[in-house]
Amino acid sequence: RDPFGGAAWVVQPFPGAAMDLFGDLRRMNKRQLYYQVLNFAMIVSSALMIWKGLIVITGSESPIVVVLSGSMEPAFHRGDLLFLTNFHDDPIRAGEIVVFKVEGRDIPIVHRVIKIHEKENGNIKFLTKGDNNEVDDRGLYKEGQNWLEKKDVVGRARGFLPYVGMVTIIMNDYPKFKYALLAVMGAYVLLKRES
C-alpha cells in the first residue's frame, strides 16, 4: 500500500513480460505452434527470395547498401540507403559514384571515380576519391595497387533514400540492440494469432 492510503501499484519488470511470452507459447496447441513457425519461415524465405531477385535484376552482388561514413558528403550522408546496379556491358566513366571492395577490407567503400585509364584492348582501370576527402583512394587499395578494375566494383549508385539506413548503423554499433530487436520481432511473428 502507498503512504496516502490508496492501493499500491505493482509494476512488472521485463522478466514478467518474458514469462507471459512463455505462457502464451505453452497455451498454444502443437498445430498453432507449427503454423506460427511455418509462418515465420515463410517470411524469412520470402525476404531471401526478394533479395536474390534484386541481385539478378540489378546485376549487383549487393543491390542495396548503407553509407557508413561522411566521406561522400555532401552527395551522400552517413545512413543514406543506396540502390546499385552493376551491368558489365555499361562502361565506367569519370564522375560516377561506385561501390567497390578491395582485398583485405570486409566493408565496401562508396566513392566517386575521378580518373579513367583506358587501354587500347578495352580494359579500363580507374581511380576513386571521396568527395569530402583531401586525397585519392590509393591509400585504401591493397599494397602496390594504384588503380581499381571492373572486377573490384560491387555496383554503381543509381538512387538513394536519405537516412533510412541509420537503423543498420545503430544495429552495427550496438549489437545487443540488434539481438533484442530480432528477438522481439521473432516472438511477435511466432505468437501473433490469426483472429
Q: Is 88 a catalytic residue?
A: no
Q: Which three cell numbers stand for residue 170?
A: 545503430
Strand partners, 110: 99
Catalytic residue among 60, 80, 111, 152: 111
In sequence order, what are the residues at sequence separation of 6 or more whose Cβ sits closer than 8 angstroms to the Cβ of residue 71? 109, 110, 111, 130, 131, 132, 133
Looking at 60, 80, 137, 152, which residue is catalytic? 137
Catalytic residue among 46, 60, 62, 71: 71
Q: Which residues are 85's β-sheet partners?
A: 156
Q: Using alpha carbons only, give the angle 38, 40, 19 rounded to the nearest 5 degrees.
A: 105
Q: Which amino acid is at 71?
A: S
- The residue ranges of DSSP E strands in the chain, in sequence order, are 64-66, 81-85, 97-100, 109-118, 124-129, 148-149, 153-161
Residues 6+ apart with CB under 8 A from 80: 66, 67, 160, 161, 162, 163, 164, 165
Is 69 noted as a catalytic residue in this protein?
Answer: no
Q: 71 an active-site residue?
A: yes
- Residue positions annotated with a catalytic role: 71, 111, 137
